[in-house]
Amino acid sequence: MSVITLPSAQVAAGAGHLPPVCPRHGEPATEHRSVKLISRPPAWAAIFILGGGILYLIVALAVRKTVKAPAWPWCATCTAQRKKLLAIGLPLLAVGVLCFIGGIAANSDSTSPLLILLGIVALLAGTIVAGRGGQVPMTGAVVSGDGQYVEVKKGSDRFLMALNRGRTPV
C-alpha cells in the first residue's frame, strides 16, 4: 500500500490519462466511471459547528474543492464491495424506518421508546454502511485542500507501477 498523489489536471483529463488499473485495489479496470471527487472539510471549519450544523455545512461546502473525474478506473472488487455494503446498509435503513414508525404507532410507554431507539440506531448504522458504499467513498480518493491534487491514501502499488511505466516508456 502506498499513498497515490495525482495532479488534479491528470484526473480531470479523463480516459487514457490514468492507467487502466484500479488505484485502490490494483486490479484491472473493468469499466471507467464518472465521479465527482471532493476534499475533506479543513480542520478549522469545525469551529463553525458551534454556530450550528447548518452554518458548518455552508462553510464546509464553500471551501470544498471538487475534481470531476470523467473516467475513474473501476474494478470488479469495487463493484463487489459496493454491492455488499449496499446489501447490508439499505435493508438496515428500511428496518430503521419501520422500527421508528412502529414505535410511534405502538403508542405504548413500554415498547415505543425501545422501538424508536432501535430505529434510530439502525438508521445511523444503515446510513454509515450504505454511505461507505457510495461511488465516491468507494474510490478512496480525496481532493487535497488546495484542489491541486487527488490523493488515494491506501493506494495500490500495482497502480503506481502502471503509472510510472506510462511516464517512462521502456
Shortest Å, Cβ 22 to Zn ion? 3
When asked if residue 141 is in the footprint of Zn ion (CB under 5 A), the reply is no
Residue closer to Zn ion by CB (options 25, 65) is 25
Shortest Å, Cβ 123 to Zn ion? 28
- Is residue 1 within 8 A of residue 154, CB to CB? The reply is yes
Give all strands (DSSP E) within 40-162, no chain letters.
Answer: 66-74, 141-143, 149-155
- Which helix (H) or strand (E) is 18 found in, with range? none
The span of 6-14, 23-31, 42-50, 90-98 binding Zn ion (CB under 5 A) equals 23-31
Phi and psi at 20, nearest 5°, equal -75, 55
Scan for cell 403508542, then name that residue: 107
Tell me which of 4, 11, 18, 22 binds Zn ion, using CB under 5 A: 22
Tell me which of 18, 25, 37, 85 binds Zn ion, using CB under 5 A: 25
The footprint of Zn ion on residues 72-101 (CB under 5 A) is 75, 77-78
Q: What's the CA gap between 169 and 55, in Å, rounded?
A: 50
Q: How far is CA 110 from CA 101, 114, 118, 122, in A?
A: 15, 7, 13, 19
Shortest Å, Cβ 81 to Zn ion? 8
List interacting residues with Zn ion (CB under 5 A).
Answer: 22, 24-25, 75, 77-78
